[in-house]
Chains A and B, each alone.
Chain A
């Protein structure tokens, strides 16, 4: 006895008055088109699919279908099944009449359509069903669709008291219920199975063997590498900013030193400042006093000098006078060297007086003629005499005579008026006369005019020339003049003797004066001689005193220099003191250590200041200055270190940001930057272990693919049991998505490589992080993962149908529909679908169900037989629907029509010979 579906019955449903169909053996349901074959089989949906959302009535809507199947509360769909635990049971669905709703029920016992008939022959209405069946010995259990579904698929529902086990299907895994129902739905219409559905069902079925969760690769990668990337970013940030960090380290060091220094100096500075004021006043007073002393000394010195210079010029004048006397004496000594008696000189004076008196007497006689007048007169006479001589010589032939002789008298006279006497008296040697030419020229001039070139002279007023003197008159004249000359010569002789006498008088007077002077000079000499020794003594005195004065002056100069220098020194000292005071005041005003930072400075880390510190008042200003600068530098370092830190943060180095204090952070950063090599090594180790971590999930995917493929191989064995048409090969393959799978393999291999340790030494390989292949693989996985919102095993492969006709090379097809003829494709779908259902069922709880094939004539007889055999093997009996009967089945069931209503009764069934199931089975 085989467990499973036995009969399907319809009462008052789907246009059937009454119908009963065997389900335990292959059936050929016969009816013309549109008669109701499909509707009959579809009734099973209410029994097996239950969930209205999953039902499918082709072109008919659910509403119409409910109306079609449950027009009244006397509409029934009934299913008899033989169950292993409970034996024969009836599962049913009855209309409620209202809004074509229905309810489920079940009871134990065989299906007897008479159980649903009232004594009057009418069908039992739903409200009376329970009572009615109870009366016939069946206790009925009623169910809502939800309860009924749980019941049919045996999904761990708690049974009610006395409720038998009505579970029909038992699945290997309860979680398959959904897939099972889906495929089962399709088994009612396996011809409609699409390639995509095959794929998704297969996935559904084998899902259990695949890792459950999606792998969000990006998340996993990011998670695994988060720390690595963070560390690497820190490492690179530190590496990039190494120079900055070094500078920071120097500043940090300087700050430690300065803190120690400032802390040590501060009290010393305070003490020195307190002492400063009194030091300043004291010191300043001293300097002022000293300055006044110096000024006084300088004034005194100046006065002394002035007195000395006055005295010196006095002495010098005196000495000059003495020198002159000395010289005068020497000169007189030389002059009077031969005179040794004054009386000689007195005699000479008297003598000179006597000579002079005698001469004066002689001179008185010679007075009377003036020598100069006489000499002038004589010279005059001399000249006149010479002219007279000349006239006498030319008396017979001269110009006047020639003119008288050669020219008419009036013309000659006119001309003679114009010429001077000397010219008229000139001898022939001194002129040449062309009297004709002269006469003509003169003739032409109208009288009384005389014309010369440029001169027109009226001569009428001129006195005519007297007639020339005679030779006799001339001779007389000459004698007279010669006489007069002789007189004059005598007078001149006398006048000349008087002059010489006058001159001699003067010389004598001079001689007397000279003698008197010599006497006087001699007296002078005598006087000089008398003072000579006294003078010499005085001169010696003067020399001495002058030397003393000079010495004193020289001494005063160097003392004045000294005083000047000292005054300058003193001034300088005062200026310096004031400057220092002013500076200290200023510095004290603006003490750089007022910043609160300095209050807790001693508590901060510092390097102790070991150098000695002694602050004398003199050094205070400088010390204060240095101290202030140190303080300021300290503040600046604080600021700059902070800035540096901000820069480093901006540059990405944030690793130590959460240190206790910025100072701590700086120390960490410095230490970190000094260990970058080690850090790189650690980083690489981490990166490698991250690769290993990240591949764990990938490995799961990869293994999932492997196990899916091996499950598929088993599945292929199932569907390969029977030969389909002329196909040598028919199988389904999971073709790996090479790109993805290879990417996964790259990562897995890398992980294995880096995990195996020694062979992959740290320094002979580039970082995993820089591995191009790894990066490419990562990119592919992230890209795909993001597009798919997580990677699943199903993303790693695609299903392809491999079909090979007898004697031909198998080919891969993505889509079954295009792979072969309609009939063959139909076969392939049916077998695949049945195999899937079989796969899902519990191997220890086999329940034969039904599969339905519309348009069965599309299959040839061989295929029909194969199909029946395969279905049998998988636990299904087939219902072929066709207008004409098939002879490959066990029962032929025709649909009869009585009065427009369909009818199938068991009497109408034709049972054929049992099938040779082994026929045509695959090798």
Chain B
């Protein structure tokens, strides 16, 4: 296929978008509406340009985008591990509280919730040397990477957290498959909250 020069119609948000994504941050429709729309409207062009620069742009219709880097830096891996722990603990706590996991964007994660989560997961958190303060710190990291934003004395999770949720659900499904259970996964709310009518 012959190379055509890539022409970008809206360079201004592009630079901002690139800066955001290249820092390892996730773009969220819910948090950066304008950038998201710019991306949505120029996805093909931007994607091609980023690819030419050596970045794989991944856009998820549920409202987030990121650069899919195969091998993250040690720092990233470290943080990713912490984030995974945070989200795992949060999801588990909320599931126990009867919350639909797919609606994580609705949760206000405040100090109280963090402490409750700590109580419930003392063992695993202690093994990691983590407490409520530690979790709050990790939420700071989550903010930095576009998984959460501070709001009204707490945090709210952003759509990018789907990445972790997908992962947890896949793991759960695998477990169930191994145990040969007839999974009742369908009963759970579809995180994409869509019109999932069967015909």
Contact = CB atoms under 8 A, between A and B. Distances in A.
Contacts of A571: none
Contacts of A739: 29-30, 63, 105
B61 A800 contact: yes
A787 B30 CA distance: 11
Nearest to B192: A735
Contacts of A731: 199
Contacts of A733: 194-196
B194 A735 contact: yes
B127 interface: no
Contact of B195 (A59, A717, A734): A734
Interface stretch (B36-44, B113-121, B135-143): B36-44
Contacts, number: 56
B112 interface: no
Interface string A757-794: 00000000000000000000000100110111000000
B2 A814 contact: no
Given A196-B43, A783-B33, A788-B37, A737 B63 contact: yes
Interface string A793-817: 0000110100000000000101000
B55 to A, nearest CB: 18
Most buried by B among A716, A733, A737, A814: A737
B34 interface: yes
A143 to B, nearest CB: 33
B195 A736 contact: yes
B34 A812 contact: no
B197 interface: yes
A272 B166 CA distance: 100
A139 interface: no
Contacts of A797: 194-195
B60 interface: yes
Contact of A196 (B44, B105, B195): B44
A814 B60 contact: yes
A716 B195 contact: no
A713 interface: yes
B184 to A, nearest CB: 13
A786 B194 contact: no
B61 A713 contact: no
Interface string A39-77: 000000000000000000001000000000000000000
A735 B36 contact: no
B197 A713 contact: yes
Interface string B41-67: 001100000000000000111010000
B169 to A, nearest CB: 13
B105 A800 contact: no
A720 B192 CA distance: 23
Nearest to A780: B30
A223 B30 CA distance: 25
A787 B34 contact: yes
Given A196-B44, A788-B37, A800 B194 contact: yes
Interface residues of A, number: 26
Most buried by A among B34, B61, B193: B61
A783 B37 CA distance: 11
Contacts of A737: 29, 63
Contacts of B30: 739, 780
B33 A784 contact: yes
A787 B33 contact: yes
B33 A717 contact: no
Given A59-B2, A717-B199, A736 B193 contact: yes
Contacts of A738: 105, 192-194
A787 B196 contact: no
Nearest to B195: A709
A739 B28 CA distance: 12
Contact of B61 (A59, A716, A735, A783): A735
B61 A814 contact: yes
A258 to B, nearest CB: 54
A262 B194 CA distance: 79
A332 to B, nearest CB: 131
A890 B44 CA distance: 39
Contacts of B2: 59
A720 B198 CA distance: 13
Nearest to A812: B192
Interface in A723-745: 731, 733-739
Nearest to B159: A739
B81 to A, nearest CB: 28
A842 B112 CA distance: 62
Interface in B141-199: 192-197, 199
A736 B36 contact: no
Interface string A548-580: 000000000000000000000000000000000
B113 to A, nearest CB: 18
A865 to B, nearest CB: 24
Contacts of A717: 199
A733 B193 CA distance: 12
Contacts of B44: 196
Given A196-B44, A738-B193, A716 B199 contact: yes
A797 B193 CA distance: 11
Contacts of B60: 814
Interface string A574-613: 0000000000000000000000000000000000000000
Interface string A679-722: 00000000000000000000000000000010001001100100
Nearest to A814: B61
Contacts of B29: 737, 739, 784
Contacts of A786: 33-34
A572 B35 CA distance: 92
Contacts of A196: 43-44
A800 B105 CA distance: 21
Nearest to A772: B152
Contacts of B37: 787-788
A72 B2 CA distance: 29
A196 B37 CA distance: 15
A713 B197 CA distance: 9
B130 to A, nearest CB: 30
Contacts of A734: 194-195
Nearest to A708: B195
A801 to B, nearest CB: 11
Contacts of B196: 733
A780 B33 CA distance: 9
A737 B29 CA distance: 10
A736 B193 CA distance: 7
A116 to B, nearest CB: 36
A780 B63 CA distance: 14
A797 B61 CA distance: 9
B34 A736 contact: no
A798 B36 CA distance: 14
A800 B59 CA distance: 13
A734 B59 CA distance: 17
A733 B199 CA distance: 12
Contacts of B63: 737, 739
A814 to B, nearest CB: 5
B101 to A, nearest CB: 13
Nearest to A735: B194
Contacts of A709: 195
Contacts of A812: 192, 194
A739 B59 CA distance: 17
A-B CB proximity, top 9 nearest: A735-B194, A787-B33, A738-B193, A798-B61, A787-B34, A787-B37, A783-B33, A814-B61, A788-B37
Given A787-B37, A798-B61, 18 more contacts: A196-B43, A196-B44, A709-B195, A713-B197, A731-B199, A735-B194, A736-B194, A737-B63, A738-B193, A739-B105, A786-B33, A786-B34, A787-B34, A788-B33, A788-B37, A800-B192, A812-B194, A814-B60
Interface of A: 59, 196, 709, 713, 716-717, 720, 731, 733-739, 780, 783-784, 786-788, 797-798, 800, 812, 814
12 contacts: A733-B195, A735-B192, A737-B29, A737-B63, A738-B194, A739-B63, A739-B105, A783-B33, A787-B34, A797-B194, A800-B61, A814-B61
